[in-house]
């Protein structure tokens, strides 16, 4: 039986999601400026960039913590060379006061060292003297280009004992995400879910960002989910600007439902924080 018959007040749910939203930023040149547009103390996630590597992620994490933000760095497994490198990363993050990390496999075609997958890194981290209160792993509501559903399910089964929550990849359909959560629960996975949603994005700006960051960060990322063509169609249909209203409205009724375990939204800003933060404030005040 579908869980979706269990609903709560939508407006209350939306307000909860937006008050506790975390913002994902890329550690590019605009990073420091992006922080200026975010409210003090908000949680930000910092990606691992194919162009800049994981050391840049750690540097920007240290900077953002000093600025007073709660920071969740991406420790992408395929960018970490070996156990010594992992321990150095963990040491720096611990020294900075980081208590929450997100561990994806990473888009790098060939691993930089001995870690092929997030599981490889997580199991090795468990053997070190370092630990974090919160550890996020990736969920794929629309599947993965190169991995079938059975492989994805097995991967999550292996990673679950090391994790405390799941972050979903981008998906523009709330029903698809809710159905995926139901499937995850049916497999016995009880980890809470941070739902990945896009920020506010202008069509022209999207193309500019795609050219700057390359297929490894933006275009390829979108193609992995609903596809760049579908995304562009939505932008054009909304007069050139996408706003994730339908997504937060779709998830709002299920925020307090323990079966779904939705603990918040993870906003993929693509370093376009001003418009996204303005939209978030407006929705909270409406």
Q: Which of 62, 118, 63 is nearest to 89 (CA)?
A: 62
Report the share of the chain in percent with pLDDT over 70. Answer: 84
Residues whose CB falls within 8 Å of the CB of residue 74, separated by 6 or more in sequence, listed in order: 45, 46, 47, 48, 57, 101, 102, 103, 104
Q: Is the Cβ–Cβ distance between 205 and 280 less than 8 Å?
A: no
pLDDT, position 145: 66
pLDDT, position 241: 81
Instruction: Give residue 147's pLDDT band: very low, low, confident or very high (50, 70, 90).
Output: confident
Instruction: Give residue 14's pLDDT band: very low, low, confident or very high (50, 70, 90).
Output: very high
pLDDT, position 235: 55
Average pLDDT over residues 56-67: 97
pLDDT, position 214: 36
pLDDT, position 286: 83
pTM of the model: 0.87
Residue 237 has pLDDT above 80, yes or no: no
Residue 1 has pLDDT above 50, yes or no: no
Residue 219 has pLDDT above 50, yes or no: no
pLDDT, position 70: 97
Instruction: Give residue 233's pLDDT band: very low, low, confident or very high (50, 70, 90).
Output: low
Average pLDDT over residues 103-130: 95
Average pLDDT over residues 260-274: 94
Residue 23 has pLDDT above 90, yes or no: yes
Determine which of 49-53, 223-227, 232-236 has the lowest per-residue pLDDT on average: 223-227
Residue 223 has pLDDT above 80, yes or no: no
Give the highest mean pLDDT range of 52-66, 103-117, 233-247. 52-66
Residue 221 has pLDDT above 80, yes or no: no
pLDDT digits (tens, 9 = 90+) for 162-216: 999 999 988 778 888 999 999 999 999 999 999 999 889 876 665 555 454 432 3
- What is 3-285's CATH number? 3.20.20.220
Instruction: Give residue 142's pLDDT band: very low, low, confident or very high (50, 70, 90).
Output: confident
Determine which of 17-31, 39-53, 215-229 has the lowest per-residue pLDDT on average: 215-229
């Amino acid at each position: 039986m579908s869980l979706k018959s269990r609903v709560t007040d939508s407006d209350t749910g939306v307000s909860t999601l937006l008050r506790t939203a975390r913002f994902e930023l890329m550690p590019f040149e605009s990073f420091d400026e992006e922080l200026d547009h975010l409210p003090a103390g908000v949680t930000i996630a910092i990606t691992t960039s194919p162009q800049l590597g994981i050391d840049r992620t750690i540097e920007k994490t240290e900077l953002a913590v000093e600025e007073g933000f709660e920071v969740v760095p991406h420790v992408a497994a395929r960018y970490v060379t070996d156990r010594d490198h992992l321990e150095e990363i963990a040491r720096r993050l611990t020294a900075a006061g980081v208590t929450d990390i997100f561990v994806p496999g990473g888009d790098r075609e060939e691993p930089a060292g001995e870690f092929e997958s997030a599981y490889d890194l997580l199991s090795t981290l468990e053997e070190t003297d370092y630990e974090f209160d919160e550890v996020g792993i990736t969920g794929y509501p629309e599947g993965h280009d190169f991995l079938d559903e059975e492989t994805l399910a097995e991967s999550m089964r292996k990673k679950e004992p090391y994790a405390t929550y799941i972050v979903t990849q981008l998906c523009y359909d709330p029903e698809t995400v809710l159905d995926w959560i139901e499937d995850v629960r049916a497999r016995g996975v009880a980890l809470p879910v941070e739902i990945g949603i896009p920020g506010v994005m202008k069509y022209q700006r999207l193309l500019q960002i795609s050219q700057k960051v390359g297929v490894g960060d933006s275009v390829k990322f979108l193609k992995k989910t609903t596809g760049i063509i579908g995304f562009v169609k939505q932008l054009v249909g909304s007069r050139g600007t996408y706003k994730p209203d339908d997504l937060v409205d779709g998830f709002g009724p299920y925020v307090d439902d323990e079966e779904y375990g939705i603990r918040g939204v993870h906003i993929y800003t693509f370093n376009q924080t001003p418009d996204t933060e303005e939209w978030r404030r407006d929705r909270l005040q409406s």
